[in-house]
């Protein structure tokens, strides 16, 4: 419970207030005094208190005195005004109480007299309290106000001083630290020892401009000092320097101008200032160097300011030095290392010097003077002159980069690079024929002038057609570069041999171009169709929207664009034709070995040559002229005409496309067959060689050649250096062929030729099997198993042969199907033309004596006939595309028939009283033209039979020969059976008859073949074969069966088989080479080992031994052994019948 308020308590609160104010004044005053003392010390300390300085002590003393004085005054003030007497008087004055009222009340409250009424005393207190309302600050009156005012004043001053002190602390912490340090230890400062002064010592020698002078500091009894320096125009910089044993040193930055240097220490010591001025070291100023390069470099002269430490210049450069010289340096010279004078600078004008020389050798040059006193420091430094000689150029042909085979097109892209350090004058490209005898023919050179370029990189394509030396040989290619130097330095690239492309490569390239042409024609078909549709739409729009025949600008532009598009299409057709022509020309080197490819390509060119030419081209040209001249035109009509031209072109292209597709397929077949044939031959060769390897180590000494080190093995070994690699190389060639087979199968299927497509797919599968066998062969060869490798290689060859047979059969089937379809179409066409001719004949009969009414009927019938002729022409269009020559004539005949028929219709429609007349003539012409068309179709049928027909006739001949061979084989077996059974009674005669009958059948067939049409293409003399067959038949019929007859029969069979093989491979192959006959060593054939005949039978070779033979050869071997065994009686050799 708080005590009750009373005047005494109120007075106490006022007194408390005054004391609080006094405390505040004391604190603020102390703080302000401290700040002020600090600030004074900071102002006086400088870099540090000087030793013995009384200032810190004075400040402290003064501060303390002020503090003491202030404290005393404050206490006295507070005592006075805190007493009852003064305080109550002030309170009474402030409260408006009568003087003494409060004091009296206090006394009453403090010591109430005896008899005083407490209530009265209390009431009096209350009355006084009521009038003493207000805060103690108000009741404090004048002393309170004075203290408040003093507090505010001291607070403001103190705040300002504190702010200043804070700023001094922040901005100059070291100085502040020094000031405070002095204040805290004023006696130490006063009593500090007086240290020796600081001294600075600069360099003893003049300082060259740009040098870094070293300043030495003497600061005894000090651990460190602060070095200050100020360059002219720059701010002051400082650095603390450690002093060791009273000495220190510091290297100033490079001097370009005067600098003031001084040092200070923590004890406030400061050294005198040192002024350092740099001295100009160079005697030569404003030195410039002009370089004049040799004229052939075609390079502007250069000017350098100052002289570099190293001067690298081309040899022949003239150097001119210019500068200003200060002082009397005498004669200024540049000397070589050897001491000889390189250049002497001569006075030029006022204070200038100049000199020029052409350095002839690299080296270091130094300056010197002759006469005059010159401080060496004032001479320019030495410098190095390096002469760079003009290096010869370099030239290379990174492409081809080495000997190479030319592509089939004989266009070789090359890359030529040449460089020179100064510049190239020219680059030359040389091509020279290299004959088979190694003689280099007259070269051709192409010069590329360069005018000083330093680098050249060219990627031209060389056209080498016509440059290949005749009769084989190669081309040499090289490049030569010459630089711009007066000596004309040159460089020559390596010479590369360019071999002519192989025939297969040339053909493959030409075929590839045919395929490309097909794709381009197909693209053009689509494009012309789209453009035709667009033009039709534009024509329709123009027709609807036009207001006059002039056409507006947009329509004319549409016409212009369409005309240009038509020209562009024509250009593309020409481009395709040119590509084909180029392909054809590339085949020129093959001569007859191109397999007719040149002719086929030529036919395709002719197709393209007929497109869009003639009248249409003329019309287009006139249209372009009209557009250029701004002549008025009917744009709708022109657009329509151009659309029609596009459509016509599209039709022509579609017709051409069929031929191109067929040509491309044919070339695909040819290409695949060629590749397969090569593969088969090479595989057979490898198998044979491997088989030869297998036999060699086991060969005994029976042969006189066995001891001849030059015979047999070395040559054979040279033929197949690495069978495994050879097999792998062949294996690598299988995949591309397989891909082409698959592509061929796809194309055939797209065209609806399913059977040939399946055959091609089957051939691809057989090729896969061949590849697997090759893989096994290669593996066996790597393992050293020659026998196994030979067997597998042989099997691979067989599979490849099967694939080839499959492809050849597919091609024959495809061609036959096509030819048969053509023949059927022509046959049908001939029949239909004849049917129309017969109709016309019937109408002609009716025309005789016909009246007006009947003429109307006839006219309608004739119109129907004319429509029929149109139908016939449309039906024969496909034939026309495939047989252009026949088609042209056929179309001509049908055209004549159509024209004549239309004239007949027209004439029948004219009024006339009498029938007959000229319409009969027209009708006669119509019939004649239709008959002609029928005849042309029939002759075209013959041509199809003949044209590809040589193939089909040859196929037929091959079939016949195969049939003859089979018949002969059967006859041989019969005869051999008859001879084997001759010893048995009663059966020999019937066997002989059968043999004779079989032989007679063969003779008859051979005779029929030799005498027939097919025999015209037969290789060899079929007639002779027939005669031989007949002679054998006669012999058998007479009962003669002897060894000679059997031999002749075997020989006849071989001749039949040989004739068939010749037909199959009727062209020369690249690998076929004729070699002159050599001496044939005929080894003596020893007698058979009797042990072989121990059981009366001669064992045939084992399957392993037969693996490397072809099936036909195996059959012959086995039959031979069978015949041998049949002819050998049991129990011994040499006996047995006629054999």
Partner 1 sequence: MRNECYGIAVLVLLVVPALLPVSGGVGLAAQTADSATAEGQADTASATPAGIPDDLRDPETRSQALARILEVAESREGPVRTLWVQGLAVAEKTSPEIGARAVEALLRAEAGDIEAAAWALAEWPGPDEMKGDDRAALLALAARLLDGVDPEGGAQLRERLLAAHPAAPEAVETRLRLARYLAARESDEDRSRALALVEDLIVDTPDHPLAPEARRFLAQLRRGV
Helix (H, G, I), strand (E, B) or coil at 387: strand
CB atoms within 10 A of CB 593: 16
Rounded CA gap, 962 and 1009, in Å? 12
Work out how close the CB of 1025 gets to partner 1 at its nearest, in angstroms, rounded to a whole number: 19
CB atoms within 10 A of CB 349: 8
CA 486 to chain centre: 42
Q: In the block, which residue shows the tokens 């010390």?
A: 41
Shorter beta-carbon distance to partner 1: residue 635 or 952: 952
Shorter beta-carbon distance to partner 1: residue 942 or 1066: 942
Shorter beta-carbon distance to partner 1: residue 225 or 836: 836
Question: Could you tell me which residues come within 8 angstroms of residue 78 by beta carbon, excluding any fewer than 6 positions away?
Answer: 18, 19, 22
Rounded CA gap, 488 and 424, in Å? 9
CB atoms within 10 A of CB 1048: 18
CB atoms within 10 A of CB 853: 8
* 66, 733, 973, 1124 from 1096: Cα distances, Å: 158, 49, 21, 11
8 A C-beta contact, residue 9 and residue 3? yes
Rounded CA gap, 28 and 156, in Å? 9
8 A C-beta contact, residue 817 and residue 753? yes
Shorter beta-carbon distance to partner 1: residue 924 or 1001: 924
Max Cα-Cα span within the chain: 202
Shorter beta-carbon distance to partner 1: residue 638 or 861: 861
Work out how close the CB of 896 gets to partner 1 at its nearest, in angstroms, rounded to a whole number: 15
Work out how close the CB of 872 gets to partner 1 at its nearest, in angstroms, rounded to a whole number: 4
Q: Which residues bind partner 1 (CB under 8 A)?
A: 827-828, 830-839, 841-842, 844-846, 848, 860-861, 863-865, 867-869, 871-872, 874-875, 924, 927-928, 931, 934-935, 938, 941-942, 1011-1013
Q: Which of 753, 743, 691, 748 is nearest to 716 (CA)?
A: 691
Shorter beta-carbon distance to partner 1: residue 326 or 871: 871
Query: What interhelical angle do 734-750 and 635-695 show, nearest 10?
Result: 140
Work out how close the CB of 827 gets to partner 1 at its nearest, in angstroms, rounded to a whole number: 6
Shorter beta-carbon distance to partner 1: residue 185 or 1012: 1012
Rounded CA gap, 1058 and 958, in Å? 11
Work out how close the CB of 940 gets to partner 1 at its nearest, in angstroms, rounded to a whole number: 11
Q: Which two tokens stand for residue 696?
A: 């060699």
Q: Which two tokens stand for residue 291?
A: 């370089």
Write the Ramachandran bin of 327: left for phi over 0, alpha for psi from -120 to 50, otherwise beta.
left
Shorter beta-carbon distance to partner 1: residue 94 or 828: 828
Shorter beta-carbon distance to partner 1: residue 938 or 1133: 938
Shorter beta-carbon distance to partner 1: residue 870 or 1065: 870
Q: Which two tokens stand for residue 356?
A: 């020029």
Shorter beta-carbon distance to partner 1: residue 404 or 828: 828
8 A C-beta contact, residue 369 and residue 327? no
Rounded CA gap, 315 and 297, in Å? 11
Q: In the block, which residue shows the tokens 């050897």?
A: 338
Shorter beta-carbon distance to partner 1: residue 534 or 827: 827
8 A C-beta contact, residue 47 and residue 198? no
Shorter beta-carbon distance to partner 1: residue 185 or 945: 945
Rounded CA gap, 1071 and 1067, in Å? 12
Work out how close the CB of 843 gets to partner 1 at its nearest, in angstroms, rounded to a whole number: 10
Rounded CA gap, 1032 and 992, in Å? 12
Shorter beta-carbon distance to partner 1: residue 541 or 841: 841
Work out how close the CB of 1130 gets to partner 1 at its nearest, in angstroms, rounded to a whole number: 51
Work out how close the CB of 870 gets to partner 1 at its nearest, in angstroms, rounded to a whole number: 8
Rounded CA gap, 699 and 711, in Å? 13
8 A C-beta contact, residue 233 and residue 257? yes
Work out how close the CB of 893 gets to partner 1 at its nearest, in angstroms, rounded to a whole number: 12
The angle subtended at Cα 81 by Cα 80 and Cα 84, nearest 5°, is 90
8 A C-beta contact, residue 716 and residue 760? no
What are the φ/ψ torsions at residue 720 (nearest 5 degrees)? -125, 90
Work out how close the CB of 917 gets to partner 1 at its nearest, in angstroms, rounded to a whole number: 17
Work out how close the CB of 1021 gets to partner 1 at its nearest, in angstroms, rounded to a whole number: 18
Helix (H, G, I), strand (E, B) or coil at 433: strand
Shorter beta-carbon distance to partner 1: residue 515 or 1015: 1015
Work out how close the CB of 838 gets to partner 1 at its nearest, in angstroms, rounded to a whole number: 6
Shorter beta-carbon distance to partner 1: residue 205 or 871: 871
Work out how close the CB of 916 gets to partner 1 at its nearest, in angstroms, rounded to a whole number: 13
The angle subtended at Cα 1130 by Cα 1128 and Cα 1132, nearest 5°, is 70
Shorter beta-carbon distance to partner 1: residue 243 or 866: 866
Helix (H, G, I), strand (E, B) or coil at 600: helix
Work out how close the CB of 865 gets to partner 1 at its nearest, in angstroms, rounded to a whole number: 6
Shorter beta-carbon distance to partner 1: residue 536 or 827: 827
Q: Which of 181, 1057, 933, 763 is nearest to 755 (CA)?
A: 763
8 A C-beta contact, residue 406 and residue 501? yes
Work out how close the CB of 891 gets to partner 1 at its nearest, in angstroms, rounded to a whole number: 15
Work out how close the CB of 947 gets to partner 1 at its nearest, in angstroms, rounded to a whole number: 16
CA 1045 to chain centre: 73
Work out how close the CB of 856 gets to partner 1 at its nearest, in angstroms, rounded to a whole number: 13
Question: Could you tell me which residues come within 8 angstroms of residue 170 by beta carbon, excluding any fewer than 6 positions away?
Answer: none
Work out how close the CB of 853 gets to partner 1 at its nearest, in angstroms, rounded to a whole number: 12
Pairing of strands 341-348, 352-357: antiparallel
């Amino acid at each position: 419970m708080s005590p009750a308020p009373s005047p005494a308590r109120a007075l106490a609160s006022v007194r408390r207030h005054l004391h609080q104010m006094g405390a505040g004044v004391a604190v603020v005053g102390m703080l302000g005094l401290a700040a002020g003392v600090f600030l004074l010390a900071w102002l006086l300390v400088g870099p540090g208190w000087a030793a013995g300085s009384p200032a810190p002590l004075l400040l402290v003393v003064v501060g303390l005195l002020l503090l003491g004085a202030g404290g005393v005054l404050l206490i006295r003030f507070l005592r006075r005004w805190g007493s009852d007497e003064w305080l109550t008087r002030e309170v009474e004055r402030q409260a408006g109480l009568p003087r003494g009222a409060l004091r009296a009340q206090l006394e009453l409250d403090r010591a109430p007299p005896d008899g005083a009424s407490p209530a009265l005393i209390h009431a009096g207190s209350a009355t006084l309290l009521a009038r003493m309302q207000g805060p103690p600050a108000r009741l404090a009156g004048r002393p309170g106000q004075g203290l408040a005012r003093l507090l505010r004043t001291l607070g403001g001053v103190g705040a300002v001083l504190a702010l200043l002190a804070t700023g001094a602390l922040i901005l100059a912490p070291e100085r502040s630290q020094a000031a405070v340090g002095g204040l805290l230890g004023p006696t130490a400062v006063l009593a500090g020892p007086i240290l020796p002064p600081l001294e600075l010592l600069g360099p003893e020698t003049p300082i060259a401009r740009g040098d870094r002078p070293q300043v030495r500091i003497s600061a005894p009894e000090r651990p460190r000092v602060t070095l200050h320096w100020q360059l002219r125009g720059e701010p002051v910089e400082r650095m603390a320097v450690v002093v060791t044993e009273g000495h220190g040193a510091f290297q100033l930055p490079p001097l370009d101008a005067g600098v003031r240097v001084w040092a200070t220490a923590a004890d406030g010591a400061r050294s005198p200032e040192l002024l350092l001025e740099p001295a100009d070291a160079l005697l030569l100023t404003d030195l410039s160097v002009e370089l004049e390069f040799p004229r052939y470099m075609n390079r502007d002269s250069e000017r350098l300011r100052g002289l570099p430490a190293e001067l690298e210049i081309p040899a022949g450069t003239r150097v001119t030095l210019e500068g200003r010289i200060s002082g009397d340096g005498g004669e200024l010279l540049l000397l070589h290392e050897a001491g000889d004078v390189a250049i002497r600078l001569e006075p030029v004008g006022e204070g200038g010097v100049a000199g020029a020389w052409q350095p002839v050798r690299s080296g270091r040059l130094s300056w010197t003077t002759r006469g005059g006193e010159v401080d060496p420091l004032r001479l320019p430094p030495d410098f190095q002159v390096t002469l760079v000689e003009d290096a010869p150029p370099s030239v290379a042909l990174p492409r081809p980069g080495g000997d190479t085979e030319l592509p089939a097109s004989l266009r070789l892209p090359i890359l030529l690079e040449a460089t020179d350090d100064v510049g190239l004058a020219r680059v030359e490209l040389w091509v020279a024929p290299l004959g088979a005898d190694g003689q280099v023919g007259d070269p051709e050179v192409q010069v590329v002038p360069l005018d000083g370029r330093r680098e050249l990189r060219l990627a031209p394509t060389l056209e080498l057609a016509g440059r290949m030396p005749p009769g084989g040989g190669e081309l040499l290619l090289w490049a030569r570069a010459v630089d711009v130097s007066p000596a004309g330095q040159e460089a020559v690239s390596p010479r590369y041999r360019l071999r002519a492309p192989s025939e297969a490569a040339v053909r493959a390239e030409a075929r590839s171009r045919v395929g490309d042409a097909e794709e381009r024609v197909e693209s053009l078909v689509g494009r012309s169709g789209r453009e035709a549709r667009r033009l039709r739409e534009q024509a329709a729009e123009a027709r609807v929207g036009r207001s006059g025949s002039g056409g507006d600008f947009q329509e004319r532009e549409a016409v212009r664009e369409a005309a240009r598009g038509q020209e562009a299409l024509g250009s593309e057709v020409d481009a395709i034709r040119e590509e084909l022509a180029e392909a054809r020309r590339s085949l020129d080197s093959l001569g007859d070995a191109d397999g007719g490819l040149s002719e086929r390509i030529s036919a395709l060119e002719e197709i393209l040559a007929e497109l869009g030419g003639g009248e249409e081209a003329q019309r287009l040209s006139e249209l372009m002229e009209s557009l250029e001249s701004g002549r008025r035109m009917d744009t709708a009509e022109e657009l329509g005409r151009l659309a029609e031209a596009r459509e016509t072109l599209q039709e022509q292209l579609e017709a051409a496309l069929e031929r191109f597709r067929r040509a491309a397929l044919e070339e695909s077949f040819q290409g695949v067959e060629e590749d397969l044939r090569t593969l088969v031959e090479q595989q057979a060769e490898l198998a044979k060689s491997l088989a030869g390897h297998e036999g060699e180590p086991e060969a005994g000494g029976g042969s006189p050649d066995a001891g001849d080190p030059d015979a047999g093995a070395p040559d054979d070994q040279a033929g197949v250096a690495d069978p495994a690699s050879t097999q792998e190389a062949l294996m690598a060639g299988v995949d591309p062929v397989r891909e082409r087979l698959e592509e061929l199968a796809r194309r055939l299927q797209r065209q609806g030729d399913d059977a040939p497509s399946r055959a091609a797919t089957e051939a691809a599968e057989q090729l896969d099997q061949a590849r697997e066998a090759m893989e096994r062969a290669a593996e066996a060869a790597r393992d050293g198993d020659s026998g196994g490798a030979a067997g597998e290689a042989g099997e691979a060859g067989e599979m490849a042969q099967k694939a080839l047979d499959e492809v050849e059969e597919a091609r024959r089937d495809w061609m036959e199907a096509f030819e048969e379809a053509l023949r059927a179409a022509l046959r049908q066409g001939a029949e239909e033309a004849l049917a129309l001719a017969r109709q016309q004949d019937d109408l002609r009969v009716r025309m005789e004596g016909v009246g007006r009414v009947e003429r109307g009927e006839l006219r309608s019938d004739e119109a129907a006939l004319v429509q029929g002729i149109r139908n016939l022409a449309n039906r024969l269009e496909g034939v026309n595309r495939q047989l252009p020559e026949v088609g042209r004539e056929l179309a001509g005949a049908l055209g004549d028939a159509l024209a004549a028929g239309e004239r007949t219709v027209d004439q029948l429609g004219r009024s006339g009283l009498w029938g007959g007349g000229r319409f009969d003539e027209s009708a006669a012409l119509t019939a004649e033209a239709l008959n002609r068309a029928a005849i042309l179709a029939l002759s075209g049928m013959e041509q199809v039979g003949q044209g590809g027909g040589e193939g089909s006739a040859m196929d037929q001949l091959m079939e016949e020969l195969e049939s003859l061979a089979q018949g002969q084989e059967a006859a041989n077996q019969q005869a051999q059976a008859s001879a084997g059974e001759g010893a048995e009674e009663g059966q020999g005669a019937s066997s002989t008859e059968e043999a004779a009958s079989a032989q007679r059948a063969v003779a008859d067939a051979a005779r029929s073949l030799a005498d027939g049409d097919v025999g015209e293409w037969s290789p060899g003399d079929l007639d002779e074969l027939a005669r031989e067959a007949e002679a054998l038949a006669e012999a058998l019929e007479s009962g003669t069966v002897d060894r000679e007859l059997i031999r002749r029969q075997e020989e006849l069979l071989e001749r039949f088989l040989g004739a068939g093989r010749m037909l199959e491979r009727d062209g020369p192959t690249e690998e076929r080479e004729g070699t002159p006959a050599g001496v044939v060593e005929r080894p003596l054939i020893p007698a058979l080992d009797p042990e072989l005949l121990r059981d009366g039978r001669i064992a045939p070779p084992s399957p392993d031994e037969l693996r490397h033979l072809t099936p036909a050869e195996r059959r012959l071997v086995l039959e031979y052994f069978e015949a041998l065994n049949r002819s050998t009686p049991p129990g011994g050799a040499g006996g047995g019948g006629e054999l």
